[in-house]
Amino acid sequence: MPTRILFVCLGNICRSPAAEGVFRVLCPEAETDSAGTASYHAGEPPYGPMQAAAKARGLDISDLRARQFRRDDFAAFDLIIAMDASNLENIEALRPAGNEIPVRLFTDYAPTSGADYVPDPYYTRDFDGCLDLIGIAAKGLKTSL
């Protein structure tokens, strides 16, 4: 059972911290973290509107801080979850030779949703829709462990 799970998006201020925040409540026995493939927001808390949408559902993600995804993460985690195909490609580009840990799209765990990626609410502004999809995928992920 993979117990160390890393959620990855682009900026690490919207989708992946929300995914981490949802999953750590749903599955407290797993070790979780999140990261962004880009460094723009390193050190920052989750984006205000995402924090507010999460808070409205009783989810506090204000303690999380953004960091950039790094090659070492392949050794530190058992499973890496990407929010979209571009994240997945950027993650795979850093995979060390010989490392074989799975990198999966989060929507793989939400087959009934019909979504094949988690749209970025930084651009769509649909923070609630993002949290809905994350909730479905998080339950699927927990069931898969």
Binder among 5, 6, 7, 14 for ligand 4NP (CB under 6 A)? 14
Would you count residue 91 as binding ligand 4NP (CB under 6 A)?
no
Active site annotation includes 126: no
- Cα–Cα distance for residue pair 144/125, rounded to 1 Å: 30
Binder among 74, 106, 109, 122 for ligand 4NP (CB under 6 A)? 122
Spatial contact of 41 and 119, defined as CB atoms under 8 Å apart: no
Would you count residue 13 as binding ligand 4NP (CB under 6 A)?
yes
DSSP 8-state secondary structure symbol assigned to residue 5:
E
Neighbours of 124 (CB within 10 A): 11
**Is residue 120 helix, strand or coil?**
coil
Residues 39-58 contacting ligand 4NP, CB under 6 A = 40
Would you count residue 11 as binding ligand 4NP (CB under 6 A)?
yes
Active site annotation includes 9: yes
Would you count residue 15 as binding ligand 4NP (CB under 6 A)?
yes
Residues in the chain: 145
- Cα–Cα distance for residue pair 33/75, rounded to 1 Å: 14
Which of 14, 15, 73, 130 is catalytic? The answer is: 15
Chain residues that interact with ligand 4NP, rule: CB under 6 A: 9-15, 36, 40, 120, 122
